Amino acid sequence: MKQFAWQGRQISKIALGSTNFGEPMSIRESWRVMDYAREQGINFFDTARIYGYWYQEGGRNGYCEKVIGDYMRSRGCRNEIYLVTKGAHPPFEDRGASRLTPACLREDLEGSLQDLGTDHIDLYFLHRDHPDMDLPAVMETLHDFVKEGKVLSLGASNWHYSRILEANAYAKKHGLTPFCASQVEWSMAKLADGTAGDKTQVVLTPEEYEAYRKSGMLLMAYTSQAHGLFSKAQAAGGYEALAAAGKLGKYKDPANAHRIKAALTLCQRYGISPAALAVSYITSQTFPAVPILGCSRKEQMEDSLSAVDFVLSPEDYALLLQEDRI
């Protein structure tokens, strides 16, 4: 798998997600997936402090971090991994509340370092934004983490681009560490902002896409395969079959009827799977764009990585998107 230079490291153009580590995947299967991902050249691991909080058996903050930490310790591979985690997620039961305070940030970072079994995070994200947070205090706290060597680079997850610019302007003015990366929901399927079910999540807009493309900021895409929408459509017989079965979920936008048809045409043309095409949709961009891939078993990851170096052409994008930009 091809890699690219980022913040002084060579990192894979695909990130391994971890929301299913430990449940529904067993810890043994989670380790199997991590082994396979590393064998395929993935060294970019993404997790978060809150991942695993909702698990039925032993769920808590840091559950998935602990699975990764134990794995890295067992394999002796920490220095081979570009490690991402996220902190300051709002209370799980009250997404409108904020934990973007210096005390909460410190609590989450120290907990992440302990569960991951490491002395530093390569790229540390704020997991959510909040309009009422004290932006100067947050940026100064994050800069302290960098000065302490506990964090090497900073990112913003589920922030609109305008807010990242606001934070970075403050950082520049005061000699602090800026954000160099962003995470938003983005996939080959069309999904309008505000339809994700969680109002604290941010969906990539056409305007923000253009801003990222021009800036060159690293953009990581979560839910990058649209919950398997295109694979499900292939199995069911298309958009209309999914609609009739009530299985479109948040992807009811009529544009997805065309996108599914075009995607399945491209899959047949190039002999690749819908899961692999969804990966290529992100990795073929002309700026640093990284899909975060999760799975519930190793075979799904094998499917997603089955055409890992395939590149979509501008004509392919035009077929998929018609008049849309993303």
Q: Which residue has the tokens 């077929």?
A: 319
pLDDT tens-place string over residues 99-154: 999 999 999 999 999 999 999 999 999 999 999 999 999 999 999 999 999 999 99
Domains of the chain: 3-185 (3.20.20.100)
pLDDT tens-place string over residues 179-202: 999 999 999 999 865 565 688 999
Q: Inform me whether the pLDDT recorded for 284 exceeds 60.
A: yes
For residues 158-165, average pLDDT:
98
Q: Inform me whether the pLDDT recorded for 38 exceeds 80.
A: yes
First to last CA, the chain: 25
Is residue 305 within 8 A of residue 14, CB to CB? The reply is yes
Residue 92: the pLDDT is 87
3-state secondary structure of 217: coil
Residue 195: the pLDDT is 61
pLDDT tens-place string over residues 78-92: 999 999 999 999 998
For residues 47-53, average pLDDT:
98
3-state secondary structure of 7: coil
Q: Inform me whether the pLDDT recorded for 1 exceeds 70.
A: yes
Confidence label for 13 from pLDDT (cuts 50, 70 and 90): very high
Q: Tell me what the pLDDT averaged over the chain comes to.
A: 96
